Structure 1
Amino acid sequence: MSKRPNIDIDHYLNLFLEDIPLMDVRAPVEFDKGAFPTSQNLPLLDDRQRELIGTRYKNAGQDAAIALGNEMATADIKAARVARWQAFAAAHPEGVLYCFRGGLRSKISQQWLAEAGIEMPFVEGGYKALRRFLIDSIDEVIASARFMVVGGLTGTGKTPLLAELDNSVDLEGLANHKGSSFGKQIGGQPTQINFENALAVRLLKLRAAGHSLMVLEDESRMVGRCGLPPALQEAMAQAPVVVIEAGLEERIERLQREYVEDMLTAYRSHLGEEEGYLAFSNYLLDAIEGIRRRLGGERYQQIRDALQQALQHRQLESVAGVYRDAIAQVLEQYYDPMYQYQLDQKKERIRFRGSYSEVVSYLRNLGVEQ
């Protein structure tokens, strides 16, 4: 059995650049607050056990806490834990484990695995050290990188454009939210910690790939409930801007495709035919509710009633038509004037304007020249 060394600070970066599978042995309550993109929670202690041992530690000290932990580690519990870890190791022979600080829980987990014939290194410093590394990395990468912001009115295709570039950071993708009343996505949003961790990993990978220029969509401080790090907000506020231009009809068609056709397909794929359609219906009705103030009470009620009736009778052409009517109004009355005002405030920073394909070409050339 070959010995694999534990992971120290000099090797944290490789864990993220190489997408090393990470076995998180913290309790579920800790994992749910924040983890890393490649982490899987296979706890040494469940939430109740962690609470009891923590209380014993505070009241009677470390030795008493360890003794209680040993009492709880019955043969059945230990066997169940080790079996799950063995399955993880078999699926991910390059895997690494971690606990909160790289202390007792990591050592016990490593020891139990070794007794089962498996050598798995743990992260020295644990979750806390890895989290600190990623937080610091965000500031370091931002300080050394150049940024270009993609702007444009709603529906010009800013997010799809990012997917065509190797040097982009899709903030909405990382936040799993499209940043508007219609932005809710299947699966919900990550915690703020998980959003920041995923952002840091993306930035590190772009830097490692040699990209000094990074392209982002023009976003506000919040993407749904996920907040941008202050350093990134500042960098984006100073970055040059490129603007995608498109006519109203083209934008409405894109929005109708993305928020009606694509979302219905996604919900059905995720939840099945019937449950998926119900979830899609609730999504559209909730989204219309989100723009109620901008539509005005009377117009909102007309649109909601028509949409609800079309959804109830599964008249998808009517659903699309009602949606189109609502979006056309809210674009012309609210979003377009607001975003045009915001673009006017950035006019000194605008470097290029053009169609979707022209902006893609411009940004690709910039990436080559970097």
Structure 2
Amino acid sequence: MTNVTDDFLSIVLNETPLLDVRAPVEFEKGKFINATNLPILNDEERRLVGIRYKEAGNSAAIKLAESLIQNEGKEKRVHLWQDYLKKNPEAKLYCFRGGQRSGIAQEWLKESNIDITRLKGGYKAFRNFLMQQSEDISAITPTLILGGRTGSGKTILLNKLQNAIDLEGVAHHRGSSFGSFVNAQPSQIDFENNLAYRLIQFHHKNFTHLVLEHESHNIGRTFIPKPVYDNFMQGELVLLQTPIEVRALITYEEYVLGALKEYALQYGEEGPKKWAQNVQSGLKRIQKRLGNQLYRQLAQLFDKAYSQDTQAEAKTFYLEWIALLLERYYDPMYDYQIKKSPLPVVFEGNTIDVLHFLQHQS
């Protein structure tokens, strides 16, 4: 009997390794946590087989696939799968619909005395499960939305809670005009899949509330699916109050020191220059909203900070630049959003008070 499973819940809760035999182009478009792509057909082979399928049907497509792979190609693929399964013996196998490609891979591995379970319905069925679970869980889970002005330390606080999901972390973006990392954000599909994993894992820990940061629908170039976002926004608001000097320092440590380190690791000696160019581009993007006078003032402050010879000298100007940007741009924008927000405010206070409150709502 064919060894298949549709126990997708177990796969999520255990973060089971997954062997994805789809073509690389399919994998890049959308994948799952802990999935490794070792395709049975490369992109060009998949394209040719697809054309043959449309022109002459399934049997002709299978014959073409077999001729493209041939014996040497088969041995190479099986060898790669064997190496992966030695390191991940509990892995499950899938293709797009759980049919021919994963079925053939399963048979080839069986010939090598390796039994592997494949996903019933493949990638498509598993993704449908994840999307439905995201909607269902977000609909029944009370949420506490952590708000606060930019730089308040919301992410730092979230990471101290067991019943929180860091949406910016899942989106790999800091959530502002200057929030991009060196490495690209996940694709939209990957973001949705990863968020679903987090929601399912959260749900099965039996917390009473889910804590999230107060986010817009979009986080960088990814967006929270509308039904899920609407469910999140049925919650209650907790406001974190942090003095401007602390907020400027938190922002400096993350957006300046942390970002410079990240760029240096990625680009070496060119890192600081590339980081500065990215910040200058970020300022340019919001120039119209800043107004020309404030834009020039901020641009000059940043250039002055960046041109200093020592980190200690630069820090003073960076903190001045950050404080001005927070007070004149981000604070009015956030205060307006809070004022018009329909979410009821159930608590507000400093970091210690808010953390204590949220820890007692788990």
Same fold (TM over 0.5): yes
Partner of 2:5: 7
C-alpha separation between the residues in 2 aligned to 1:309 and 1:75? Answer: 64
**Contact preservation (8 Å) 2:96, 2:124:** yes
Q: Which position in structure 2 is the counterpart of 1:97?
A: 93
The reply on whether 1:65 has 2:65 as its aligned counterpart is no
1:110–1:119: 8 Å Cα contact kept in structure 2?
yes
In the alignment, is residue 285 of structure 1 matched against residue 280 of structure 2? yes
Tell me the CA shift for residue 228 of structure 1.
1.1
State the alpha-carbon separation in 2 of the partners of residues 95 and 279 from structure 1.
40
Instruction: Identify if the C-alpha distance between structure 1 residues 299 and 164 changes in structure 2 by more than 3 Å, giving closer, same or farther.
Output: same
Q: Output the amino acid matched with 2:54.
A: K
Cα 1:137/1:259, change in 2 over 3 Å: same
1:160 aligned partner: 156
1:76 pairs with one of 69, 72, 77: 72
Write out aligned runs for 1:230-269 (5 A): 230-268=226-264
- Aligned partner of 1:334 in structure 2 is 329
For 1:133 and 1:342, locate their aligned partners in 2 and report how far apart those are by CA, in whole Å.
34
Cα distance in structure 1, aligned partners of 2:229 and 2:62: 45
Deviations 1:183-233 (A, max 9, x none): 101311111111111111101001111123100000111011111122222
Rounded Cα–Cα distance in structure 2 between residues aligned with 1:278 and 1:25: 41
**How many pairs were matched up?**
362
1:38 and 2:34 are equivalent in the alignment? yes
Distance in 1 (alpha carbons) for counterparts of 2:197 and 2:207: 14
Percent identity at matched positions?
A: 39
**What is the one-letter code of the residue matched to 1:330?**
L
1:273, CA displacement in angstroms? Answer: 3.6
Work out the CA distance in 2 between the residues paired with 1:108 and 1:340: 58
Distance in 1 (CA, whole Å) between partners of 2:5 and 2:190 is 21
Within 1, Cα distance between the matches of 2:276 and 2:2?
52
Instruction: Give 2:117's match in structure 1, choosing from 114, 121, 128.
Output: 121
Q: TM-score, normalised by structure 2?
A: 0.94
Specify the alignment match of 2:170 in structure 1: 174
Decide whether the 8 Å contact of 1:295 with 1:330 is kept in 2. Answer: no
Cα separation, 2, equivalents of 1:331 and 1:308: 18
- Aligned pair 1:297/2:295, yes or no? no
Alpha-carbon deviation of 1:95?
A: 0.6
- Structure 1 residues 307 and 348 mapped into 2: Cα distance closer, same or farther (>3 Å)? closer
In 2, Cα distance between equivalents of 1:78 and 1:225: 39
State the shift of 1:19 in Å.
Answer: 0.5
RMSD: 2.0
Please, which moves more after superposition, 45-54 or 282-291?
282-291
Cα deviation, 1:96-131, whole Å, max 9, x if unaligned, reads 110000000001111111222321111110000000
Question: Matched residues in 2 for 1:101 and 1:319: separation?
Answer: 56
Give SS of 1:74's match: helix
Once the two structures are overlaid, the 10-residue window that deviates more, 326-335 or 278-287, is: 278-287
The separation in 2 between residues aligned to 1:267 and 1:17, in whole angstroms, is 34
Change (3 A) 1:298 1:349: closer
C-alpha contact 2:298 2:325 (8 A) present in aligned 1? no
DSSP 3-state at the match of 1:366:
coil
Distance 1:189 1:280, change over 3 A: same
Write the letter of the residue equivalent to 2:208: S
Deviation digits for residues 168-197 of structure 1 (CA, Å, limit 9, x no counterpart): 111100000111111101311111111111
Q: Is the 8 A contact 1:4 1:120 kept in 2?
A: no
C-alpha distance 98-347 of structure 1, shift in aligned 2 (>3 A): closer
- Could you tell me how far apart the structure 1 residues matched to 2:139 and 2:148 are? 26
Deviation of the 1:42 alpha carbon:
0.8
User: More displaced, 339-348 or 326-335?
Assistant: 339-348
Q: Which amino acid aligns with 1:297?
A: N
**Quick one: distance in 2 between partners of 1:120 and 1:177?**
36
Alignment partners' CA distance in 2, 1:77 and 1:322: 60
1:324 aligns with one of 319, 325, 333: 319
Which stretch shifts more, 356-365 or 330-339? Answer: 330-339
State the alpha-carbon separation in 2 of the partners of residues 299 and 28 from structure 1.
47
| Alpha-carbon distance between aligned partners in 2 of 1:319 and 1:285, rounded to the nearest angstrom | 16
Farther-moved stretch of structure 1 (207-216 vs 318-327): 318-327
Matched, 1:87 2:69: no
Contact 1:295/1:329, CA 8 A, preserved across alignment: no
Residues 230-274 of structure 1 show CA distances to partners (whole Å, capped at 9, x for unaligned) of 222222332111000011111111111110111122233x42642
CA distance, structure 2, for counterparts of residue 7 and residue 347 of structure 1: 44
Q: Match of 2:357, as an amino acid?
A: Y
**Counterpart secondary structure, 1:150:** strand
Alpha carbons of structure 1 residues 70 and 243: separation in structure 2 relative to 1, 3 Å: same
Instruction: Decide which of 116, 127, 134 is 1:131's aligned counterpart.
Output: 127
5+ unaligned residues in a row in structure 2: which ranges?
none
Q: Which residue of 2 aligns with 1:108?
A: 104
What is the DSSP-based 3-state SS (H/G/I as helix, E as strand, rest coil) of the residue aligned with 2:39? Answer: coil
Q: Distance in 2 between matches of 1:247 and 1:310?
A: 22
